[in-house]
Chain A
C-alpha cells in the first residue's frame, strides 16, 4: 500500500515514462481497462508485436486511419487472438532464424477481453498455450461484453446485472460465478500465470515483466474496472479496484511453475464484500440475503486459493 500512496515519488523510477498507447483514444471516462493497457505496454517496451482481439480496446484505439498504438499491432477477429499471436510468434522465429529480420527477441503478446479470452476465444487461447508458443496472453477482464452493450460473459460475477442477465423478478442477474481461466492455464502447465489490477500498478508492471521474460507461454488476467458497464461513478475506478482486492473478490496472486503466491497481501480481516458491491449499480438489486450469498462464494473461493498458496509445491520442487 505504501508504494501506491507514494506513486509519484516511485513511479518515474519503476515505470517507463514513455507512452506506447497514445492519448486521444476513445475509451470511456474512468476506463480501468485502458489504464491497465497503458501500464502493460510501458512494462513491455518496444520489442513486442500485439495481436488484439475485437473488443473495447480494439475499438477505442484503431478507427481507420487513426491508431493509438506506437508498437506493431494487428487485429484480425474476435475469437482468434491466441491463434494470430501463435502465427506471429512462429513467423518471428522462422524469419529470425533465416536472417530476414534483425536477430533480437521480439515478444508476441495477445490481448483480449473477457469474452475474447474465456468464451469465444478460449479454444484459440488453449491451443496456443498447449503448443508452447513463446506467447504472452493478456486477458483484460471487465466482466461482460461491454463493447456491445454490457451483455454477460462467463467472467461476469455471480448476481451481477447485465443486459442479458438482467435483475429480473425471478432471476436476479448472473446465475453462475466466474470461470476460473487462471486455473485452466495452470492445469495446462503454463509456467507463469498471474492476476493483476491497475489499482496496483507496480504489481501489474512487475507481473508483465515476469510474464514477458518467460520463454514460452504465460498468462496474465487483469481486473479491468468499467464504470460504464458496472454502473458506477467514473472517479471510483481506482477505489473499486482496490476494494475488489481488499474484499477478496479479486485476489492478486501469481503461479510460477505451479507455486502459488499472494503478491498483494490482504488485511488480516478482509473487508466485507458489501464494501465493494455497494458502489456499483450492477449489484444494486441485491438484498442482505443476496449479499450474504456473494460473501459465502467469495469466502469459499478465497479458502480454495489460500489452501493452494500454503499447500501446493512448485512443479520444480516435486
Chain B
C-alpha cells in the first residue's frame, strides 16, 4: 500500500485515471472539472502514460470521440460538469446502447438558468434514463478508488456499459485531502488491459450503430434494461474484490448508525460526511437518528435500500435537484415509488436543498430533522429559502 499524500481531489481523479492506463481521453474544460482536464493533459504531455489526448471543441464531441475510440477497442475516458453533461445528453444513451465501456467523471454543478458554477445534482438527474451506471463518491479517497473500479466494472464482459462517477463540484473536486493511492502493480493486477467484445478493425469488419425498426426496438430497450439491472451483481463483486485487496469496502447503499434508528437521513455524494457529524451530535443527545447514503443511483439498489431503511418511522430525503412542477425531488420520488407497494414503509419527508453551491452545514441537518418532525403534509419543501 502506498503512503498517504495530500492532494486536490480533481488532480487525484486524473492520477487515478492515469493508473488505469487509458488509451484515449477526450476532455473539454468546464468549471469545476477543469483541474481534472488540465492534470490529465499534464500527465499525457509529460509522457507518464501512453495515451492520446483529444482537445475536443465541445462536450458533445468529447463523448462522441470517446464512443469512436471505445468502439475501436480503446480504454476511453472523459470528464465534464453541468452544461457539458447537458450537451452530451443526446449521445449518452447511444453509448450505453452500443455497450461501450466509456468512463466519465462528472464534477457535479448546477445547470444553468440562471448561470451558476457551484455544486448540486441538477446536472446528473436529467441523465437518469440514459442507461449509464451512475455512482456517487463521498470523499477524495472514494474518488480515487471508484475511478479505478469504474473501468473494471464498465469493461467486465457481464456488464459492458458506460459508467459515470459523480464528484461534487468544489465541495469535493477542490478539496485537498489525505489520499492513499494503490501502486501501479496493484492496479495492473486489479485492472488488466481491456478485452473488447467486438472492435472496429478491417481484419474483422463489423457494423455498429445500426438502426432499429419497430419490430426490434422494444427488444433492444429491454435488453439494455436487463443489462443495467444485471450489472449490480458484478458491481458488488468488483467492490468486494477491491475490499479484499485494499481494505476499503464499497456497497450500493452505505449506512451510518442507522440500525434501529427511528429517523433516517438519506444523502448522496459529499453531503454524507457532514450528515454523519450531524448524526453523531444528535445521537449524543439521545435522539434516534441514523444515516443512509445512496452510492449507486443506477442501477437503483432497491433491495439494499429497503434493507437499510429497515423499520425506520421517518426517512428524510435530501434532494439536491428539482423536478419542477413534479411530485418531489428525483431521489424522493424514486424511493416513494418503489416503497408504495410495501406494507411497512416509513413516512417520507423530501427536502430540496444545497442548490447551486448553497452550503448544507451540520446545523442544517439537525434543523431538517426538527422540521420533519413538525411537518404534517407529504409535499416536498425547499429548505433554507429566504422568503
Contacts and interface: CB of A to CB of B under 8 A. Distances in A.
Nearest to B95: A76
Given A46-B202, A98-B50, A91 B74 contact: yes
Interface in B171-229: 193, 199-203, 205-213, 216
Nearest to A84: B68
Given A74-B200, A100-B73, A131-B55, A83 B68 contact: yes
Interface string A240-267: 0000000000000000000000000000
Nearest to B67: A76
Interface string B53-79: 011111011101111111111101000
Contacts of A76: 64, 67-68, 91, 94, 98, 209
A93 B70 CA distance: 13
A102 B203 contact: yes
B60 A48 contact: no
A69 B207 contact: yes
B24 interface: yes
Interface string A95-114: 10110111000100000000
Contact of B56 (A71, A79, A127): A127
Interface string A71-84: 11111110110111
B42 interface: no
A102 B207 CA distance: 20
Contacts of B207: 62, 67, 69, 72-74
B64 A124 contact: yes
A124 B60 contact: yes
A186 B56 CA distance: 20
B205 A87 contact: no
A65 B23 contact: no
A100 B202 contact: no
B90 interface: yes
A123 interface: yes
Contacts of A93: 52
A234 interface: no
A311 B145 CA distance: 62
Interface range, B side = 35 or more
Contact of B65 (A72, A90, A130): A90
B335 interface: no
Contacts of B200: 49, 72-74, 88
B98 to A, nearest CB: 8
Interface in A178-219: none
User: Which of A67, A73, A87, A130 has its CB near the most chain B CB atoms (within 10 A)?
Assistant: A87
A87 B69 contact: yes
Contacts of A92: 72
B26 interface: yes
Given A63-B210, A74-B208, A98-B50, A87 B202 contact: no
B366 interface: no
B212 A87 contact: no
Interface string A295-316: 0000000000000000000000
B74 A94 contact: yes
A74 B198 CA distance: 12
Contacts of B202: 46-49, 71-72, 106
Contacts of B58: 123-124, 127
Contacts of B43: none
B305 interface: no
Which of A51, A94, A100 lies at the interface centre, i.e. has the most chain B CB atoms within 10 A of its CB? A94
A85 interface: yes
Contact of B72 (A70, A77, A88): A88
B360 interface: no
A80 B212 CA distance: 20
B51 interface: yes
A91 B64 contact: no
A165 interface: no
Contacts of B62: 83
Given A77-B64, A94-B50, A94-B74, A62 B201 contact: no
A135 to B, nearest CB: 10
Interface string B23-61: 110100000000000000000000000111011111011
Interface in A29-58: 46-49, 51, 58
Nearest to B21: A98
B64 A123 contact: no
A67 B210 contact: yes
A228 interface: no
Given A74-B208, A76-B209, 14 more contacts: A59-B211, A64-B212, A66-B210, A73-B206, A80-B64, A84-B68, A86-B65, A87-B24, A87-B72, A88-B72, A90-B24, A91-B69, A93-B52, A94-B24
18 contacts: A62-B210, A64-B212, A71-B202, A74-B68, A76-B91, A76-B94, A84-B65, A86-B65, A87-B65, A87-B68, A87-B72, A88-B72, A90-B24, A90-B52, A94-B50, A95-B72, A98-B50, A101-B72
Identify the 8 closest CB pairs spanning chains A and B, nearest first.
A87-B68, A127-B57, A87-B65, A83-B61, A91-B72, A75-B209, A83-B64, A80-B64
